[in-house]
Structure 1
Amino acid sequence: MREFERRRIEGGGLPMHGLIASYVRMTDRISDYVGYLAASLIFVMGGALIFDAITRNLIKMPVHWAVELTQFILAAYYFMGGPITIKNNAHVRMDLWYSTLSTRTKARIDLATIGCMLFYLVVLLIGSISSLIYAIETNEKRFSIWNPSVIPIKSLLVVCLILMLMQSVAEVFKHIETLREKELA
């Protein structure tokens, strides 16, 4: 998070109105928590792959679920990393020209792109809810030796898309406050 946003949200500078500031702080904390939890999944994936390598090569008794479990964990890692990526402004952008813009112009551009992202996330959420309902109704499973249910990973996708939407709305509030701060200064 940029320093001027951090000061404003934490009470320095021009504070956001109470309810909005509370929403932004709460959403930022949730995004941080989920992001740090996602980062720890790397170790779980590594452990599962090492376990698979040991059982497959040393014991000569392969476990067929380890690689597939790693695929599920990797999907969870991507889903859970979305909110903190939005919060930390760590997504892909053309910084070659963006970095030369004024803070106010950056806020305007970010508001426009967040609008596009919100539309995309809403469409993605509608589709993922539909997919989750289908998975629950049919008790959908992967077609493999392990045959796991896909309901947990589809549920996690829905939850993470909601968190990404919440974080995107928080970013809208931050950018609006940036524009207001510039006008008042």
Structure 2
Amino acid sequence: MASLVAIAWLFCRQLLPLSRAIDKLGEWLGVIASWLVLLACLVSAINATVRYLISYSSNAWLELQWYMFAGMVLLGAAYTLKVNEHVRVDLIYGAISDRARHWIDLLGGAIFLTPMCLVMIWFTWPWFVQAWTLNESSSNAGGLIRWPVILLLPVGFALILLQGFSEMIKRAAALRGFHQHEYAYEKPLQ
């Protein structure tokens, strides 16, 4: 993990274009996640309307909503990290300098975020491969195949890992004076 911090620190100026490319991917994923919110609401409304008007329902519609929710969370998480809106414990973070925040974010990304994402990818990839190989389907009547939503797990954590690397590059560059952080920390309104 220390090697990630060292790489980000030593090569931050050269890695800023890579960080911008990763950020563009994160923005695109944020748009997809936003559209999934709307689509899930529409599917839910249509499903409820059809169920009450003509007494027809299908588990596929309910599972489709579940799939879209998984997409919202797992694709939107990278964007949330990019715009600095992720959940954090704000006991001292709001009372310290920007420089100290950059150090916390840089080290937190290397020590906590990176290993957590790698562990989640490690454990969810075989689960996806098994579901894909077996063409696993829902046990509910009329249910959907499961491997697409299971694939969202390793892909989502890989995207968070990628965005985390971008954030570490930007924090290291900010510490060295090469970058002005676009999304400043905002203290909670509580």
Whether the TM-score (by the shorter chain) exceeds 0.5 is: yes
C-alpha separation between the residues in 1 aligned to 2:89 and 2:66?
30
What is the total number of aligned residue pairs between the two structures? 166
Say if 1:51 and 1:66, in contact at 8 Å, map to a contact too: no
**For residues 64 and 109 of structure 1, what CA distance do their matches in structure 2 show?**
45
- Is it true that 1:48 corresponds to 2:43 in the alignment? yes
Matched, 1:165 2:158: no
CA contact (8 A) 1:83 1:163 kept: yes
- Identity score, percent: 25
Which residue in the other structure is 1:7 paired with?
A: none
For residues 119 and 35 of structure 2, the distance between their equivalents in structure 1, rounded to whole angstroms, comes to 29
Question: Residue type of the partner of 1:83?
Answer: A
Deviation at 1:96, TM superposition (A): 4.8
Tell me whether 1:138 sits opposite 2:138 in the alignment.
Answer: no
Match of 1:27 among 13, 22, 26: 22
> Which structure 2 segments of 5+ residues have no match?
1-11, 179-190
Partners of 2:125 and 2:107 lie apart in 1 by 26
Q: Give structure 1 regions of 4+ aligned residues with deviation exceeding 6 angstroms.
A: none
1:85 aligns to what? Answer: 80
The runs of 5 or more residues in structure 1 that have no matched partner are 1-15
What is the deviation of 1:41? 0.7
- Counterpart of 1:51 in 2: which secondary structure? helix
1:180 alignment partner in structure 2: 176
Distance 1:63 1:147 in 2: 8
* TM-score in terms of structure 2 length: 0.82
Name the structure, 1 or 2, with higher relative contact order (CA <8 Å, separation 6+): 2
